[in-house]
Structure 1
């Protein structure tokens, strides 16, 4: 059985990705930070479908904790699947904050950098000894890093996600000797709990975003989760170093 690690899988895109990956016959180690009940809900959904999953805590903004997390992963692999390695990594965990460029302070910038760019960079590096050859990595970026997704207030967030897309290409190049594929997906506006559940708090923005989307609606977590799961599979074994926008045609 193949095993995938999905970070930030207690809700939203990460939760969907974990469930969709498990439905394709892959065991899942999923992480959470501050929403343990959501992570346990993800595990329960996977187990109800006949899959196997383990939930582990992880703060992707604290790289000093990554070696201990790697040890926890190694323990879970042995105890649950009798494996010493895993096959897929989905760097999904994130946070969001917006402010006009003139009002973006260093604390906001540094927090986004630690979680969205430094976190995936050094978490991948830390886990690399456990990642099996011919595996696959998917980094969850954002169309805020592309010309189609540019919206005022996202300069810091989009900059970090743009860095993640560049990192994707470098990882694809450097890990290709081991047969490891690395791609990124760039969601558009998607109905998740990001930014402190902003869509629930400000439902009036939804029609505006839907009107700017060619397919006429807001994205749902499964719209993204199914693409992530597919990219990890054998059907897409000849795709690497690509960023795939999954936005329903935002600003098309």
Structure 2
């Protein structure tokens, strides 16, 4: 079955890192639009199950599966567990939409960035996205969608984020290549690049530090820092049938930050 010809009510989206922050918000907005969701979590099963319960309260189906996106050696096992979950919950062997959201930040000046910090970012934001998507390709329906998360920091330069932004820049390039190579299957691939958002990302610095929050607001055309509800609906909208012709794009969602 092609995702292009299916209604929103019978699509399944996989959102990595869906137990909190932007991933949680995205999963909920997909459900509100009529889609079912598989979320992954790294360690907080309780948070993940709370999201599953909230999605189910919206009348949609949801499953939470453990996954550490930094460990590529575990992707084959995850793919097998996902296949089992799809069969048990939906009587399907495939899903429609992949949102590569899971990630973490490292704040360190270029001169002070350690190899361990760099490798940690590579493993999650680049290697993890590359090889998890590769592992899941046989399960993604023809005509499906992939959304990769980038950052406004690939356009704006804030000292302390050289390594993180470099990984996200690589993801943007990877997304264009995926769009080209997967086009024969009708799979659209896009990148969403949020600006600074009030979440627990980076230790919650934008949300919890008034000085940083005001600095962000001061360089944003709409005069405030972003919140999760600014991002989840955008990602969910890219999965909707009406946006089937959007492909190979970097879409920044920042309220006009750093213009």
Q: TM-score with structure 1 length normalisation?
A: 0.97
- Structure-2 residue corresponding to 1:94: 103
Report the count of equivalent residues: 250
1:218-246 alpha-carbon deviations (Å, 9 max, x no partner): 11111111000000111111110000000
Q: Deviating runs (4+, > 2 A) in structure 1?
A: 196-204
1:62-97 alpha-carbon deviations (Å, 9 max, x no partner): 000000000111011000011110000000000100
Which has the higher mean CA deviation after the structures are superposed, 44-53 or 89-98?
44-53
For 2:204 and 2:238, the matched residues in 1 are separated by 27
For 1:7 and 1:179, the matched residues in 2 are separated by 22
For 1:87 and 1:247, the matched residues in 2 are separated by 27
1:145-175 alpha-carbon deviations (Å, 9 max, x no partner): 11xx210011000000000000000000000
**Does the CA-based 8 Å contact 2:29-2:232 persist in structure 1?**
yes
Which has the higher mean CA deviation after the structures are superposed, 154-163 or 210-219?
210-219
- Structure-1 residue corresponding to 2:127: 118
Mapping 1:169-184, distance limit 5 Å: 169-184=176-191
- In structure 2, stretches of 5+ residues that fail to align are 1-9
Q: TM-score with structure 2 length normalisation?
A: 0.94
RMSD: 1.0
> Shift in Å at residue 45 of structure 1?
1.3
Q: Please state if 1:192 is matched with 2:199.
A: yes
1:13-53 alpha-carbon deviations (Å, 9 max, x no partner): 10011011111111100001122222112111111111111
**Does the CA-based 8 Å contact 2:152-2:193 persist in structure 1?**
yes
- Structure-1 residue corresponding to 2:83: 74
- Structure-1 residue corresponding to 2:4: none
Residue aligned with 2:210, SS: coil
